[in-house]
Amino acid sequence: MIDYTTSKKLRAQYIQQELEKYYPETPVPLDHTSAYTLLIAVLLSAQCTDERVNQITPKLFKKANTPQKMIKLSVDEIREIIKPCGLSPRKSKAIWELSKIIIEKHEGKVPESFEELEKLPGVGHKTAGVVMSQAFGHPAFPIDTHIHRLAQNWKLTNGKNVEQTEKDLKRLFPKESWNKLHLQIIFYGREYCTARGCKGLVCPICRTLYPNRKKPIEKKG
């Protein structure tokens, strides 16, 4: 029996191999038809489930699925539609403002760089990473709460903060696997290694990596 506790690299290889069995296909969880609609959907997903976002965006995108159409709506109109997603005052303002910037500074197209994406209102590093990987196909490893938590359960990072987790995972996994692996870890975290249900003790991967672990892992950072 392999002792995975001794080597981070060994754990990473096993995890990648197992996740490929669980999730050979990785459909993008947020419904979208363009880089712009994905950007808006990802922005809306902050502190909101993908399922809820997918219920809201058809109504929003029916009215405005381009930045040109979006700025024809008022911030209040946007807010009324996206209210069920939470944080609607902040998100509606960001959606309207970033749409205006995309028209004025980027010829109506979502910029294809981390630097320019992160300059947009409401767009942080994680959101930019999702757009870069899922809309444009560039290697990125956006760290959401599931990935941050599972990386700690599997001792792939010290979990000090999401920035450190991103660096650690990028060092451990091949660059060409980042985009798919990012989604595989999220799917596994939602289905098997849940925040309340596993804590490093219950799911198949945690049990294989740490068969003798007795104490639950509490997420840091």
Catalytic positions are 126, 144
Q: Residue 108: left if φ>0, alpha if ψ -120 to 50, beta else—which one?
A: left
SS3 assignment, position 53: helix
CA angle 179/183/185 to nearest 5° reads 115
Q: How many residues does the chain have?
A: 221
In whole angstroms, give the CA distance from residue 118 to residue 128: 6
Spatial separation of the C-alpha atoms in residues 221 and 161, rounded to whole Å: 5
Residues 95 and 122: beta-carbon distance below 8 Å: yes
Residue with tokens 């987790």: 165
The Cα–Cα gap between 38 and 6 comes to: 40
